[in-house]
Structure 1
Amino acid sequence: MTRLVIVVEKASDWSSYYPSVDVMSAMDYLRKPVGGDDERTHVINLCRSYKYLGTGYYVSLLAEARGHKVMPSVRTVNDLRRRSLYGLDIDDLNQKLTHFLPAGGRDTTDFGTLVYFGETAYPALQDLARQVFEMFPCPLLRIEFERDRVWQVSSIKPVGLHTLVDTQEDAFAEELDRFSRKLWRKPRARRQFRYDLAMLVDPKEQMPPSNKKALKSFVAAGRELGIEVDPIGKNDYQRLAEYDGLFIRETTASDNHTYRFAHRAEKEGMVVIDDPSSILRCTNKIYLNDLMVSRKLAVPRTEILYRDDSKGMKEVVARLGFPLVLKIPDGSFSRGVVKVEDEDALAHAASGLFQHSALLLAQEYVYTEFDWRIGVLNREPIYACKYYMSRGHWQIYNHGAKGTAKSGGFETIALKEAPAAVVKLALKATQPIGDGLYGVDLKQVGSKPVVIEVNDNPSIDAGVEDAYLGEELYLRVMREFLRRMERKRQGDGVR
């Protein structure tokens, strides 16, 4: 079971609300430990101030020492004191705020809004309020804005419950009720599971990294090892505090919620795959190419194209020749990848791709019937696949096909049957990235393999990547989570 504890500095701070057994004073919390060994405790710290070495500070500090999940955490409290962390660049903020300025209209140079668990009374500022709450998870915040020529965030400050007026108390009570019901709505059977693992999925994603059957196999493998694997979605950001680990099974990107989930999980001290560093390193092909070249690992000949540099484009063509392949840096599943046969096709394709990125990769075209994919987990290979090109197409995925994207066939084999040079190069390619879960794509011409890219969050589909190992593949992934969570619990500091 999970216990909710709401800590207030003085009993009078809660006088406007219904009495609750979940509410206790800061001094009672500091003096008397709550929660048992089999009871997970979540603390909402509503002290008047989180000043360093003050009462509120110690509530969060001792909550963490007791193994309780607390909001705000000590890290959040410390971060809120560092203005450099919230010098946010907020696009179009001036236009959005115009309709909500206090009396004084356009002459107003400052404005503020309260944020209750990520919610605000101003719909136009809701996205901003949510982002601030995700960055600084704190029950009550006030965002102050100031305007010189454009609006900027001037401060983000915790607010004491005792400072609220009647209408604000009503808004806070509503959001507290909604937040606590959402965060702890699912009782957990702790008697049979040693650990809880959140698995981030999107049931509506057209090309997810794992199909439904594979997701069920991850859940089953976790249960076999004493891990409850709980599928969550992008709206469950604040539920992360419930879990011991995070397993991302959505297509990752550095500019969407998957990265925010990974970053938050890492800050919470959770075991996380994919970790945010791996996401950043793998989702940009320009970074990956430089990384492979700096490590002297074999890659196809590659050049960088720059927007508005027609001379440089001609020089690249002279060096690489035709056909060549253009890629946007952050494409996935063969999207944003175009093969061009001549200068006219190059100019047309580059013009379109430059709408999405200031830099593009131009790469020599290397023909093969299939690409190798070597799955790597914690610096060890776990599966080997051949992905064949889509019928009548030069890529594995044909996004130009009618309806959904079409893919070619596959062949999953024992690792010992894969060429040793391919497996060895795949392992070398993941070394500078991390010890997470990766899928290394390679081509082999003759006996020489080259790295095409390293994917974080690689595909593990039932009937494809598990075709050789079967359920053992899912168990291997879950065993690695178990190993890391056990060492984390023992205090060895391993991610």
Structure 2
Amino acid sequence: MSRLYIVVESLKDWTPYYPSEDVISFEDYLALPINKNDRVRLINLCRSYKYLSKGYYCSLLAEARGHHVIPSVRTLNEIEKRSLYSLILDLDDDTALSALKKLANKPDQELTFRCFFGKTSDPDLEPLGALVFEKLPCPVVEVEIEQKGGWKLSAMRPISHKGFDDQEQTLFANSLDAFSRKVWRKPKERKKYRYDMAVLVNPKEEMPPSDKGALKKLAKVGKQLGVAVDLIEPKDYQRIPEYDMLFIRETTAIDHHTFKFSKKAEAEGLIVMDDSTSIMRCTNKVYLADLLRANRVPTPKTLIVSKGDKQQLLAAAQELGLPMVLKIPDGSFSRGVVKVESPEELEQKAHTLFKQSALLLAQEFMYTDYDWRIGVLNGKPFYACKYFMARNHWQIYKHGEGSTAAGAWATLPTYEVPKVVLNAAVKAAGLIGDGLYGVDVKQKGNRAAVIEVNDNPSIESGVEDKYLGDELYRIILEEFIRRAEKKHNS
């Protein structure tokens, strides 16, 4: 049997409803022991699902722990952007038109309704409510549609169950009860469509993952393999359907156009790296920490600390010792990562970082002269680098006012990498997916500790390709081709 948890931001939020042992607070869920053998279903009813809110983290950590959660992080990201949810819930397709049949005679030019686990207060809207929940499974959403030569989706937003009137409370409770007794199933796969390679770059990016030399080599090898490589920029969003493949060579983030490009490309049937799931999983260090811990991947000792809990912060310092490292969840290139060496510095820097996120990572300080970077593609390691710390600094990158210094590097064949490092990297990458990843690993003697998995690893001319040369680009392109041919022949 599976275990059901209904997570609320505060137990006070559940006051209007019958008490239940299934209802727990977000803090209680955060403290639950992780057992990968448990089958857990989770209904996330936190007050807000905004990026980096407690509701967002609830779904994020549930997925890291292998729990089946509604709403999923994928749904939260989709429902946040009109361009995404309009693409997913297309009211002009046959299924939607069928659901809208009962609205044919309604004189209204605009309709706003709430969908409670697929149920609505208006029987005429029930088929549309069911479709909304199938496509974008979220406990309660408010939907606006309008007549513009046919019904069009004008707005959609998740709604907290707090503040419902008596009628809505009854509908919410009945819908939740009916839903929680059903067999959970994934929404139907959206249709995929099309087969030339678009490479997304941003000329304005200060530290892009690939330099011009690497992009030229990619185009040269692509031509040899029959792949036309075309560089596109953020302004070229509407051109995505022209291509068969999308290779993102700009630093990715969730609340960013790179994620939007990935989602759009997937919806159009392109072969995509980075895929949106990998972006979501890799760009948040809190998710990664829980995922790696739950699957027993070796890492530096890591704790999650919550905003507003000073005692938890001090306890983390006592357990990890000083100096220790604090990280915001979505920093990159050593940004948002600080070392603290005293209780006073800990409190000061934590206060600053908590302005950006409700949760932080507190991590054991593990100094090494260099970090390993293992490139993994489709579960196989294919390049290895040593990135040395910046001069007189404890990180690879040292950010100063108006400039950034980086340490030296060395590239070598994967067979020269210690097995303990290689095994940890491959295992960590496998938890993210089958895409292209750069896994950062620290090594001290026989101990290997995964620092993070990068969904958009650096591939620069004369650095990562120093040992393999053009073969590195050939390996990547041949994987794109393999996937495209598999899709074409399926």
Tell me the TM-score normalized by structure 2: 0.64
Question: In the alignment, residue 262 of structure 1 is paired with which amino acid?
Answer: S
* Partners of 1:195 and 1:227 within 8 A in 2: no
Per the alignment, residue 314 of structure 1 pairs with 314
How far has the Cα of 1:376 moved from its partner? 0.3
5 Å-filtered alignment, 1:73-112, equals none
Question: In the alignment, residue 259 of structure 1 is paired with which amino acid?
Answer: F
Once residues 218 and 253 of structure 1 are traced to their aligned partners in structure 2, the CA distance between those partners, rounded to angstroms, is 23
Q: Tell me, yes or no, if structure 1 residue 202 matches structure 2 residue 192.
A: no
Per the alignment, residue 469 of structure 1 pairs with 468
Once residues 414 and 131 of structure 1 are traced to their aligned partners in structure 2, the CA distance between those partners, rounded to angstroms, is 41
Question: In the alignment, residue 247 of structure 1 is paired with which amino acid?
Answer: F
State the secondary structure of the residue aligned to 1:235. Answer: helix
Post-superposition CA distance 1:263-302 (Å, at most 9, x none):
1211222211111111111111111111111111111011
5 Å-filtered alignment, 1:24-423, equals 144=110, 154-155=144-145, 159=149, 196-400=196-400, 402-423=401-422
Once residues 359 and 90 of structure 1 are traced to their aligned partners in structure 2, the CA distance between those partners, rounded to angstroms, is 14
Q: Tell me, yes or no, if structure 1 residue 446 matches structure 2 residue 436.
A: no
Post-superposition CA distance 1:37-57 (Å, at most 9, x none):
xxxxxxxxxxxxxxxxxxxxx
Once residues 467 and 403 of structure 1 are traced to their aligned partners in structure 2, the CA distance between those partners, rounded to angstroms, is 29
* Partners of 2:305 and 2:360 within 8 A in 1: yes
Per the alignment, residue 68 of structure 1 pairs with none
* Partners of 2:292 and 2:299 within 8 A in 1: yes
Per the alignment, residue 36 of structure 2 pairs with none
Once residues 91 and 229 of structure 2 are traced to their aligned partners in structure 1, the CA distance between those partners, rounded to angstroms, is 27
Task: Please tell me the root mean square deviation across aligned C-alpha atoms, in Å.
Answer: 3.0
More deviation, 256-265/456-465: 256-265
State the secondary structure of the residue aligned to 1:345. Answer: helix
State the secondary structure of the residue aligned to 2:432. Answer: coil
State the secondary structure of the residue aligned to 2:351. Answer: helix
How far has the Cα of 1:219 moved from its partner? 1.3
- Using the aligned pairs only, state the percent identity: 52
* Partners of 2:377 and 2:437 within 8 A in 1: yes
Question: In the alignment, residue 351 of structure 1 is paired with which amino acid?
Answer: H
Once residues 143 and 132 of structure 1 are traced to their aligned partners in structure 2, the CA distance between those partners, rounded to angstroms, is 21
Per the alignment, residue 431 of structure 2 pairs with 432
How far has the Cα of 1:403 moved from its partner? 2.7
Q: Tell me, yes or no, if structure 1 residue 485 matches structure 2 residue 480.
A: no
* Partners of 1:195 and 1:226 within 8 A in 2: no
Once residues 261 and 413 of structure 2 are traced to their aligned partners in structure 1, the CA distance between those partners, rounded to angstroms, is 34
Taking a change above 3 Å as real, the CA distance of residues 254 and 129 of structure 1, as seen in their structure-2 partners, is closer
* Partners of 2:84 and 2:263 within 8 A in 1: no
Unaligned runs of 5+ in 1: 1-87, 92-126, 162-193
How far has the Cα of 1:221 moved from its partner? 1.4
How far has the Cα of 1:132 moved from its partner? 6.5
How far has the Cα of 1:489 moved from its partner? 1.0
* Partners of 1:292 and 1:429 within 8 A in 2: yes
How far has the Cα of 1:367 moved from its partner? 0.7
How far has the Cα of 1:195 moved from its partner? 5.3
Once residues 481 and 375 of structure 2 are traced to their aligned partners in structure 1, the CA distance between those partners, rounded to angstroms, is 19
Once residues 333 and 147 of structure 2 are traced to their aligned partners in structure 1, the CA distance between those partners, rounded to angstroms, is 42
How far has the Cα of 1:135 moved from its partner? 5.8
Post-superposition CA distance 1:392-449 (Å, at most 9, x none):
111001112x432111000001111111211111101111211000000000011211
Question: In the alignment, residue 149 of structure 2 is paired with which amino acid?
Answer: V
Tell me the TM-score normalized by structure 1: 0.63
Once residues 87 and 467 of structure 2 are traced to their aligned partners in structure 1, the CA distance between those partners, rounded to angstroms, is 41
Question: In the alignment, residue 297 of structure 1 is paired with which amino acid?
Answer: V
* Partners of 2:195 and 2:270 within 8 A in 1: no
Post-superposition CA distance 1:66-114 (Å, at most 9, x none):
xxxxxxxxxxxxxxxxxxxxxx9999xxxxxxxxxxxxxxxxxxxxxxx
Taking a change above 3 Å as real, the CA distance of residues 197 and 158 of structure 1, as seen in their structure-2 partners, is farther
Per the alignment, residue 77 of structure 1 pairs with none
Once residues 158 and 439 of structure 1 are traced to their aligned partners in structure 2, the CA distance between those partners, rounded to angstroms, is 47
State the secondary structure of the residue aligned to 1:154. Answer: strand
Once residues 87 and 406 of structure 2 are traced to their aligned partners in structure 1, the CA distance between those partners, rounded to angstroms, is 37
Q: Which has the larger radius of gyration?
A: 1
Per the alignment, residue 117 of structure 2 pairs with none
Question: In the alignment, residue 327 of structure 1 is paired with which amino acid?
Answer: K
Once residues 284 and 143 of structure 1 are traced to their aligned partners in structure 2, the CA distance between those partners, rounded to angstroms, is 42
Question: In the alignment, residue 420 of structure 2 is paired with which amino acid?
Answer: A
Once residues 236 and 468 of structure 1 are traced to their aligned partners in structure 2, the CA distance between those partners, rounded to angstroms, is 34
Post-superposition CA distance 1:155-208 (Å, at most 9, x none):
1666369xxxxxxxxxxxxxxxxxxxxxxxxxxxxxxxx951111110110011
Aligned pair count reads 334
Unaligned runs of 5+ in 2: 1-47, 52-79, 93-107, 115-141, 152-193
Question: In the alignment, residue 155 of structure 1 is paired with which amino acid?
Answer: I
Taking a change above 3 Å as real, the CA distance of residues 431 and 131 of structure 1, as seen in their structure-2 partners, is closer
How far has the Cα of 1:310 moved from its partner? 0.6
* Runs of 4+ off more than 2 Å: 88-91, 127-139, 142-148, 156-161
